[in-house]
Amino acid sequence: MTEMNRVWLWAVLLSFAGVFATRCQADEETGEASTSFAEPRPLCDTQACCDACDCCDLFNGRRRLFGFLPSDHCFDRFISPISNPFFFEDPRSLTEARGIFIDNSLPPDVGNGDAQVWAAQFRGRVTDRWSLIVPRLSYFSVNQSTNGGDSNPHGFLSAPVGFKCNFLRDVDSQFLVSGGMTYFIPGSAGALSNFGGGDFHLYLTGGKQIFTRGHWLSGTGFRLPENRNTGTQMWYWSNQWDYQLPGNIYPLIGLNWFHFMDSAGLNTNIPLTTLDLINLPANGVAGKNVVSNVVGVRWKPGGHFEMGFGWEYPLTQNGDILKNRVYTDLILRY
């Protein structure tokens, strides 16, 4: 990456930070009125509904759970992204716990086999606009017949922690945009996740209802290593489109683009980046792109529960570690 490109990159990042910090400046803490978490509520998607009933988010002092406010239920017809789950952030203000399982089949030039990830995510809504997020607490394991036992990489991946601010929110048009940042705390050496001093992730994410039953989620961001010698710089853009069928079944399709802006500075002879899983100190990847498609389905019977399934495969000849990938997840939301 040239010096001029770096100047432009940081100018864009600082502009993003300035926009959502300014828009979120006037947030107010809510009070202590009670609500029932167990009772199912109808899906709400208009300001009139939010103002007329308790199914949505009145910002009126609902009871906190472990210090966190209930999720913003005025956008309950939306579903969460299923692919690129550690970077593609849901734009809504949420208090939730999410379990994710990923089975990533490895291509022949990586040795075949598969890589598996068992992950948990936690989000907590602190005010009407600000949330704390922990997008990944996870265990990683590679299974290849050419290696045996402990010789396969396995262990805990890096753990991102950070914040999200919802700075644009229009209930009547069902449109919202959020931004934020996470810092990836280095993981274990056995999972190849202990290079350098961690990574910074700066992102924007938004959602829009299309007609009455369709939705589009889109998120973009930059993963920047604290030490440029020990990691690559990545820019991604992820999209997901869904349509709500009777029974609250949501077929979905998604598109992910990963662009590597700069290689690691160390001469490691590592040709793989591992995309969204690990930031390896890869060489010769600057300028490379990986594009993938995902198809899947979600079931969302109400505002407090989601479960989903997705299958992802590369569209570009270069798939990095991706031959294909299966996602399953379950979300419990306050």
Q: For 74-109, write each residue's pLDDT tens digit.
A: 999 999 999 999 999 999 999 999 999 999 999 998
User: How many Cα atoms sit within 13 Å of 38 on the Cβ side?
Assistant: 0
E strands in 186-287: 199-210, 214-225, 233-243, 249-262
Question: Quick one: pLDDT band at residue 62, thresholds 50, 70, 90?
Answer: confident
**Structure letter (DSSP) for residue 282:** -
C-alpha distances out from residue 93 to 289, 326, 332, Å: 31, 27, 14
| Burial (CB count within 10 angstroms: exposed 0-12, middle 13-18, buried 19+), residue 222 | buried
| Burial (CB count within 10 angstroms: exposed 0-12, middle 13-18, buried 19+), residue 144 | middle
Q: What is the pLDDT of residue 58?
A: 53
The residue with greater pLDDT, 16 or 71, is 71
What share of the chain has pLDDT > 70, as a percent? 80
| Burial (CB count within 10 angstroms: exposed 0-12, middle 13-18, buried 19+), residue 313 | middle
Question: Quick one: pLDDT band at residue 145, thresholds 50, 70, 90?
Answer: confident
E strands in the chain: 96-105, 114-125, 130-143, 154-156, 159-170, 175-185, 199-210, 214-225, 233-243, 249-262, 289-302, 305-314, 324-333
Residue with tokens 């005025």: 74
Residue with tokens 């996870």: 138
Query: What residues contact residue 138 under an 8 Å CB cut-off, 6+ apart?
Result: 100, 117, 118, 119, 120, 156, 157, 159
pTM value is 0.84
Report how far residue 30's alpha carbon sits from residue 34's, in angstroms, rounded to the nearest whole number: 12
Domains of the chain: 3-29+79-333 (2.40.160.40)
- Amino acid residing at 258: F
- Please answer whether residues 134 and 89 qualify as being in contact, where contact means their C-beta atoms are separated by less than 8 angstroms: no
pLDDT above 60 for 41: no
Report how far residue 15's alpha carbon sits from residue 80's, in angstroms, rounded to the nearest whole number: 26
Mean pLDDT (whole number) for 102-118: 94
Q: What is the pLDDT of residue 257?
A: 98
Q: What is the pLDDT of residue 122?
A: 98
Q: What is the pLDDT of residue 43?
A: 59
Using one digit for the tens of pLDDT, what is the confidence trace for 191-201? 999 998 999 99
